[in-house]
Chain A
């Protein structure tokens, strides 16, 4: 429902002003970042996949720009531009348009232009408190706008990483599985490979290099690779150094010496990813899973429980909260908590609000240090539709 008539626009604006009033009352400073943004930051944070759903263009000077696909990165940039120290604590709120290319054609449920009202909290080290406050404020704004029937869906990418650590996997494998988590099939393939034939990748390496690559001496390994290329007359082309290639091959060679991933551990990971249901029950399931690992229940579950307690304290009815372990896939900004607010009229495919933690984004946006950050945005056209009874 793009606001193409004055009446629709007025209705959306009135609603947005009500939302912004809730945000500013809670101490968030209202900002209005630029609509046109450098594409670089987004491409760095999301990767080339961004282009498939963003309006990226070249200006007459040859600079690559984009119409902002969200207001989170623009707010990060604004924060950095204002502050010598981006780690300084700040709370912002905004209301404005965002743009997405819809490959299957734009329609009412897949608009190419839509409006977001949202909040960001930067620099807070009491993480779960900042997360619970963000969720509570979004819910409060939604309720102020007249939304009564909603449910909250939580996910946590940090919990998956914590499970890998608790299971005692080599750091190399933890890294690989964390990367694979983004896609269901990739995770399954990687688990299968690690539990059946971790040596498989090493088989592709030149046999004569295996010994030196698997050894302790990294200089000798690099020299071995250089000699190998030299002997075969393979010219070193490009910016990637022999050192970098050697490091990558050393990882493969080390894999070959590792015992395969235990079937029980692979099962543990798969069981975790499948967890989905009421947040309180899911907590018990995760607790039971972690209890069976080498290092037992860790700090990760404390985080989970603390977050739920903080949400309950903030007046959120936990009966409305669900948890899904695999939620967070395909949302590559996020590094920890992810959440969305769902209404029965619009369904799970069209959440009225969503957000989470993205501790790496500030660095991608130009900060020289990592800055803890959590935020969320309300899809205001959807919200208006939900509160007016699903009519568009």
Chain B
């Protein structure tokens, strides 16, 4: 029979925590061949192929169905696909990789506490500056969907791939959408989360691709694997 492909993070804290999670379930995940290689296996589960992939690519692989299962953050899954409900199934929250995707504005904006207030100031901001207020983010899709659901469209996204929290002070954006765990970095940069500005409370998830090639045998393997992890 063909094998089930499980994509796991290829580096950093997320990789360590994933290995730990499997170890707690009595499963030994290990690399095959060279230590810097990208293929692996789970001892005792011969029908599972492990692929070490960078976190953001795991979401893309689940979307296209090139892997059956993956361990990645909800934030990346939702950012990567606009139809996550149909493309994937969240099987299990894993209890690590916590991160909130939030809207944060300069703390000095004492007149702005909610998205509704942002909408309120957008017109006059445009009159004063000749452009809509800008949101710096790497979560372009999440940002757009979140504001669209609240009926707010009078802003512009500027893509930011790093040091997003510094953009308001640098004058390249007015507010940001970014991940935070403790809020410490936001505070250090003079920013504050809006009252209704939590877009997503994310953590690492075991996610199944709904568009991968599933067979009854592979579904049985998936069932066995999730049962082990839930114990």
Contact = CB atoms under 8 A, between A and B. Distances in A.
Given A103-B82, A237-B191, A245 B111 contact: yes
B124 A244 contact: yes
Interface stretch (B3-11, B101-109, B196-204, B223-231): B101-109
A206 interface: yes
Contact of A239 (B135, B156, B174): B174
Given A47-B153, A48-B157, A179-B123, A234 B174 contact: no
Interface string A238-252: 111110110111001
Contact of B190 (A225, A235, A242): A235
Contacts of B151: 182-183, 185-186
B30 interface: no
Tell me which of A238, A242, A248, A252 has the highest count of chain B C-beta atoms within 10 A of its own C-beta.
A238
- B110, B120, B124, B144: residue with the most chain A Cβ atoms closer than 10 Å: B110
Interface stretch (B32-40, B58-66, B126-134): B126-134
Contacts of A240: 106, 109, 121, 125, 133, 174
Contact of B155 (A48, A103, A229): A48
A47 B155 contact: yes
Residue from A103, A185, A245, A247 with most neighbouring chain B CB atoms (10 Å): A245
Q: Which of the four size classes fits the interface of chain B?
A: 35 or more
A104, A175, A240, A245 — most chain B CB neighbours (10 Å): A240
A205 B113 CA distance: 10
B108 A234 contact: yes
A186 B174 CA distance: 25
A42 to B, nearest CB: 11
B147 A48 contact: yes
Interface in A174-218: 175, 179, 182-183, 185-186, 204-206
Contacts of B220: none
A48 B144 contact: yes
Contacts of B133: 240
B111 A235 contact: no
Contacts, number: 98
A185 B151 CA distance: 10
B215 to A, nearest CB: 26
B208 to A, nearest CB: 21
Contacts of B109: 240, 245
B44 interface: no
Contact of B132 (A47, A175, A186, A252): A47
A241 B125 CA distance: 10
Interface residues of A, number: 38
A51 B155 CA distance: 12
A57 interface: no
Contacts of A205: 110-111
Given A49-B148, A179-B123, A240-B125, A245 B110 contact: yes
A351 B148 CA distance: 25
A175 B169 CA distance: 31
Contacts of B83: 103-104
B216 interface: no
B33 to A, nearest CB: 38
B12 interface: no
B148 A52 contact: yes
A83 B156 CA distance: 29
B228 to A, nearest CB: 37
Contacts of A103: 82-83
Given A48-B156, A239-B171, A240-B174, A248 B111 contact: yes
Of A44, A179, A234, A239, chain B has the most CB atoms within 10 Å of the CB of A239
A206 B190 CA distance: 19
B70 interface: no
21 contacts: A43-B132, A46-B153, A47-B154, A47-B155, A48-B144, A48-B154, A49-B148, A51-B140, A51-B157, A52-B144, A52-B145, A179-B119, A225-B110, A234-B108, A235-B108, A237-B190, A240-B121, A240-B133, A247-B124, A248-B120, A249-B111
Given A44-B131, A234-B110, 14 more contacts: A43-B156, A47-B155, A48-B135, A48-B153, A49-B144, A52-B148, A104-B83, A229-B108, A235-B108, A235-B190, A238-B108, A238-B168, A244-B121, A252-B111
The 3 A-B residue pairs with the shortest CB-CB distance, nearest first, are A47-B153, A49-B153, A237-B190
